[in-house]
Amino acid sequence: MLMNKPQKGMIDDFPGDMKKYNFIKSKIDEVARLFSYAEYDAPVLEPVELYASKSSDELVKEQSYLFTDRGGRNLMLRPEMTPSLARMVSQIIKEKPKPFKWYACPKCYRYERPQKGRLREFRQLNFDCIGDSTVYADFEMLQTVISVLNTFKVPRHTYEIRYNHRGLMQEICLAAGMPATALGALFQLVDKKNKIPPDDFQSALSGLCGNNTAQINALLSARSPSDVRSLIPNQQNTRLDETIKKFFEFTELLGSTECAQNTVFSPETVRGLDYYTGLVFEVYDTRGSIGRALFGGGRYDNLISHFSSESVSGIGFGMGIYIFSIFLEELNVMPSFKDGPDTEAVFIIPVAIQNTAFCFTAAEKLRKNAIPAEVSAQILPLKKQFTKATQRGFTYAAVIGDTEMQSGQIKIKNLTDGSEVMRKLT
Ligand code: HAM
């Protein structure tokens, strides 16, 4: 016999799981509508170059599902959506008005060690705004994240948004004397800081930063944007000045709104993907039950320029639906969904074989009135029919015999409380 379980790290979505997913998706669709986002989709297979030296080495070299197709092309199952989005937007960037506010909920694939909330095949919500490089777009992205959490009634004390600015970190490190070529490795290391023993982190850090280690440690221990200000070297540096100005514009805007309640400045948040250049953020469960980020995102300035002569900045985030639904379930804010028919559905029971054709007509009339209906495929004693209806998850049943055929009226019985209502078939 063949194995009936899915591949390691992949999950079968049974009908009850799809109801859960569709519930989450419908709420997200509403947030998207309220923020004027339009839905898009992209192919699940992309050329490996789309990710190589843009996403992260880890995604391409260690976590990719890679294969060569029959035409000899090196293809990858998409591990994330942002490069596909950049590729798509670049096709229309010159003729359509900006910004592009797009969202999607694609399946993505990463060959990771499966663990709580992390799989090898997962649905990932993506919201991205391309073509608006202002701090207002940065702020609105955080507002969108909070709206997604609010729409599920996630209590404010159960999560925090950790934010940082990759560009600022980069400029401070460069001004301190770090070579530009070491920055990628430094950010990868900082991204792993909480996943490796502190001594290992420190020895890797001093290997990378040499004389700058103390300064980088001071930067990583900053608790507020103003702590960072005190670490900024006093020197003429236009790029650094511009970045600081923009970052403090953002923190002031954030500080003047309610969104500040759930945000914390976190210099250790640098994100594992190489394309981020500005604001970066992650959402964490403050109860500690879900050890990994629920949402992650940031600003990327240079992705579109890989595909177009027009250089346009984007900002967005990704959120794993599976990890998020575990979070919602743990908080008891997720309704329960049962397998089986709709709660309004009626199970139609023919008394005898000669009533069956009429039962199908009756079912069709109910459906025309938006009431789901199904005709029992067997002639059985009524008690057995009711038991079958209950086991299948129907709340309503209607028995149709010669009397009902003549009158054109049926009695719909509520199987939970025994109540009955007459209904004319129209
Ligand atoms: P990411 O941090 O790699 O960012 O993923 C974002 C979110 O996707 C994570 O916080 C997590 O909820 C979910 N996720 C990632 N890997 C898995 C997995 N193996 N199983 C289940 N869930 C997972 C990105 O992918 C960026 N492209 C996000 C983005 C959009 N940045 C800008 N726009």
Q: Quick one: average pLDDT of 178-187? A: 90
Residue 54 predicted with pLDDT over 80: no
The rounded Cα 139 to chain-centroid distance in angstroms is 19
Q: Quick one: average pLDDT of 339-365? A: 96
Residue 233 predicted with pLDDT over 80: no
Q: Quick one: average pLDDT of 402-407? A: 97
Q: Which pLDDT does position 51 carry in this prediction?
A: 94
Mutate to test the pocket of ligand 1, among 323, 325, 328 (most ligand atoms within 8 A of CB): 323
380 contacts: CB under 8 Å, gap ≥ 6: 388
Residue 259 predicted with pLDDT over 90: yes
Q: Quick one: average pLDDT of 75-89? A: 97
Q: How many CB atoms lie within 10 A of CB 233?
A: 13
What is the CB < 6 Å shell around ligand 1?
A: 80, 82, 110, 112, 117-119, 122, 124, 126, 128, 273, 293-298, 316-320, 322-323
Residue 235 predicted with pLDDT over 80: no
| Rounded CA Rg of the chain | 28
Helix (H) or strand (E) holding 76: strand 74-77
Render pLDDT for 369-399 as a digit per residue (tens, 0 to 9): 999 999 999 999 999 999 999 999 999 999 9
Confidence class for position 311, pLDDT limits 50, 70, 90: confident
Render pLDDT for 100-145 as a digit per residue (tens, 0 to 9): 999 999 999 999 999 999 999 999 999 999 999 999 999 999 999 9
Ligand 1, atom 15: closest residue by C-alpha: 320
**DSSP character string of 250-308:** HHHHHHTSGGGGGEEE-TT---S-TT--SEEEEEEETTSSS-S-SEEEEEESSSGGGT-
Specify the pTM: 0.94
Task: Report how far ligand 1's centroid is from the alpha carbon of 24 (Å).
Answer: 17
Mean pLDDT for the chain overall: 95
